[in-house]
Amino acid sequence: MTPTLTLFLIISAALFSIGLLAALSRRHAIFILIGIEMMLAAANLNFIAFWRFAPQPQAPTGVMVAIFSIAIAAAEAAIGLALVISVYRHYRTTNVEKLDQLKG
Amino acid sequence: MTSWILAHLWLIPAAPLAMSLLILGLAGSRPRTGSALAIIGQVVALGLAVVAFVPTLETPGFRTFQNFTWFTFGEQALRIGWVLDPLAAAMLVMITFVGLWIFVFSTGYMAGDKNFSRFFAYLSFFSAAMLGVVIANSLLLLFVCWELVGLASYLLIGFWIHKPSAAAATKKAFITTRIGDIGLFLGILWLYGGSGTLLFYDGGNGCLEKTGLLALGASASFIALLIFSGAAGKSGQFPLHVWLPDAMEGPTPVSALIHAATMVAAGVFLVARMYPLFSFGALDGVTPSLTVVVWIGVVTALMGALIAVAQADIKRILAYSTISQLGLMMVSLGVGGVAAGIMHLLAHGFFKALLFLGSGSVIHGCHHEQDIRKMGGLRRIMPVTFLAYAIGMMALSGVPLLFSGAWTKEEILHATAHWPRSPVPYYLMMAGVVLTALYMTRQMICVFFGKPREAAERAHESPSVMTIPLIVLAVCTIALSAVLTPAWPWLHSYLTGEPAQFDLGRLIQPMLFVSLALVAAGIGLGILFYRNAGRDDPLARSQPLLFRFLENKMWLDELYAKTVIAWSAMFSKLSDWMDRHIWDGLARTIGGAGQLIGIVSANFDERGINAGVDESAAGTRGLGRLIAARHSGRIQTYMGVIAVGMLALLVLYAWLT
Amino acid sequence: MAHLITALILLPIAGALVLCVVRQSHARGIAFAFNALSAALAIALWRNFDTAAPGLQMVERHNWIPAIGAEYLLGVDGLSLLLVLLTSLLFPFAFLAQRGGRGFCALMLLMQSALYGTFTAQNFLLWFLFYEMSLVPAFLLIKIWGGEKRDGAATKFFVYTFLGSVAMLLSFLAIYFVRGTFDLAALATLGKTGILTGNMAWLAFAGIFLGLAVKVPLFPFHTWLPDAYESAPVGVSMVLTGVLSKMGVYGFIRLLLPLFPHEIQILGPWLLGLAVCSIVFASLAAWAQSDLKRMVAYLSINHLGYCLLGLFAIAASSPSALIDRQAVLSGVFIQIFNHGVTAAALFYFVGLLEERRGLRGLNDFGGLMQRTPLLCGWMSVAMFSSLGLPGLNGFIGEFLIFKGSFAVAATFTAVAALGLLVTAIVFLRAMQALFTGPLAESCGALPDLYLREKCIIVPVTMLMFALGIAPQFVFNLFNTTVVQMARLFA
Amino acid sequence: MSTAAFIVIAILMLAGALAAATLSKLIHAALCLVIAFIGIAALFFLLGAEFVGLVQIFVYVGAVAVLIVFTILLTRHAEEPTSGFNWSGVLVAVAVFAGLIWVILQTPSLSAPAPVIEALTVKRIGEVLMTDYIWPLQCVGLLLTAALVGGLILVMEEKR
The pLDDT tens digits of the residues spanning A3-12 come to: 788 888 999 9
CA nearest to D97 within chain A: A17
Taking CB atoms and an 8 Å limit, are A59 and D67 in contact across chains?
no
In chain C, residues 168-207 whose CB comes closer than 8 Å to chain B: 170, 174, 200, 203
What is the band of C1 on the pLDDT scale with cuts at 50, 70, 90?
low
Rg of chain C over Cα atoms, rounded to whole angstroms, equals 21
**pLDDT for the residue numbered B610:** 42
Q: Which residues of A touch B631 (CB under 8 A)?
A: 102-104
The Cα B56–Cα B202 span in angstroms is 19
* Mean of the per-residue pLDDT values of chain B: 81
Closest in B604, B605, B647 to D95, CB measured: B647
Taking CB atoms and an 8 Å limit, are D92 and B601 in contact across chains?
yes
The Cα D27–Cα D20 span in angstroms is 9
Report whether pLDDT(B640) > 50: yes
Q: Are B90 and B494 in contact (CB under 8 A)?
A: yes
ipTM of the complex: 0.70
Q: How far is A21 from chain B (nearest CA, A)?
A: 10
Q: What domains can you pick out in chain A, each with its CATH number?
A: 5-94 (1.10.287.3510)
Number of Cα atoms under 13 Å in the Cβ half of residue C366: 11
Report whether pLDDT(B612) > 50: no
Q: Which residues of B touch D100 (CB under 8 A)?
A: 650
Q: Count of A–D CB contacts within 8 Å?
A: 260
- Does pTM surpass 0.90? no
Taking CB atoms and an 8 Å limit, are D20 and A34 in contact across chains?
yes
Q: Which candidate, C417, C397, C402, C399, places its Cα nearest to that of C467?
A: C397
CA nearest to B632 within chain A: A103
| Residue B69 φ then ψ, to 5° | -85, 125
Q: How far is C200 from chain B (nearest CA, A)?
A: 8
Taking CB atoms and an 8 Å limit, are C159 and B591 in contact across chains?
yes
Q: Is B413 left (phi over 0), alpha (psi -120 to 50) or beta?
A: alpha
What is the band of C86 on the pLDDT scale with cuts at 50, 70, 90?
very high
In chain C, residues 80-99 whose CB comes closer than 8 Å to chain B: none
The Cα C279–Cα B150 span in angstroms is 24
For residue C359, CA distances in Å to B104, B539, C229, C439 come to 44, 53, 16, 16
**pLDDT for the residue numbered B611:** 45
Q: How far is B578 from chain A (nearest CA, A)?
A: 27
Report whether pLDDT(C440) > 60: yes
The pLDDT tens digits of the residues spanning B437-489 come to: 888 888 888 888 877 777 767 777 778 888 888 888 888 888 887 777 776 77
Q: In sequence order, what are the residues at sequence separation of 6 or more whose Cβ sits closer than 8 angstroms to the Cβ of residue C88?
A: C35, C38, C39, C42, C43
The Cα B432–Cα B409 span in angstroms is 11
Closest in B631, B636, B639 to A103, CB measured: B631
Taking CB atoms and an 8 Å limit, are B622 and C226 in contact across chains?
no
What residue ranges of chain D have pLDDT lower than 70? 1, 77-85, 157-160
| Residue C76 φ then ψ, to 5° | -125, 145
Q: Which residues of A touch B629 (CB under 8 A)?
A: 104
The pLDDT tens digits of the residues spanning B230-283 come to: 888 888 888 888 888 888 888 888 888 887 767 888 888 898 888 888 888 777
Taking CB atoms and an 8 Å limit, are D43 and A8 in contact across chains?
yes
**pLDDT for the residue numbered B617:** 41
CA nearest to A27 within chain B: B636
The Cα B234–Cα B270 span in angstroms is 10
Report whether pLDDT(A42) > 90: yes
Q: How far is A52 from chain B (nearest CA, A)?
A: 24
The pLDDT tens digits of the residues spanning B126-146 come to: 899 999 999 888 889 999 999
Q: Which residues of B touch C170 (CB under 8 A)?
A: 649
Instruction: Provide the percentage of residues in chain B whose pLDDT is more than 70.
Output: 89
In chain A, residues 47-66 whose CB comes closer than 8 Å to chain D: 48-49, 51-53, 55-57, 59-60, 63-64, 66
For residue C415, CA distances in Å to B410, C139, C277, C281, C301 come to 43, 35, 9, 11, 16
Q: Which residues of B touch D90 (CB under 8 A)?
A: none
Mean pLDDT across B5-17: 85
**pLDDT for the residue numbered D1:** 61
Taking CB atoms and an 8 Å limit, are A57 and D64 in contact across chains?
no
* Mean of the per-residue pLDDT values of chain C: 86
Q: Which residues of A touch B624 (CB under 8 A)?
A: 104
The H or E element spanning position C63 is strand C57-65
Q: Which candidate, B458, B241, B457, B460, places its Cα nearest to that of B330?
A: B241
Q: How far is C33 from chain B (nearest CA, A)?
A: 32
Q: Which residues of B touch A23 (CB under 8 A)?
A: 636, 639
Q: Is B260 left (phi over 0), alpha (psi -120 to 50) or beta?
A: alpha
Report whether pLDDT(B97) > 60: yes
Q: Are C105 and C31 in contact (CB under 8 A)?
A: yes
Q: How far is D157 from chain A (nearest CA, A)?
A: 9
CA A6 to chain centre: 20
The pLDDT tens digits of the residues spanning B280-309 come to: 877 777 888 888 888 999 999 888 888 888
What is the band of A18 on the pLDDT scale with cuts at 50, 70, 90?
very high
What is the DSSP secondary-structure string of B26-59? H-TT-HHHHHHHHHHHHHHHHHHHHHHHHHHHHS
Report whether pLDDT(A15) > 90: yes
Number of H helices, E strands in chain B: 32, 2
Closest in A11, A30, A70 to D68, CB measured: A30
Burial class from Cβ neighbours inside 10 Å (0-12, 13-18, 19+) for residue D125 reads buried
The pLDDT tens digits of the residues spanning D72-98 come to: 888 776 555 555 567 778 888 899 999
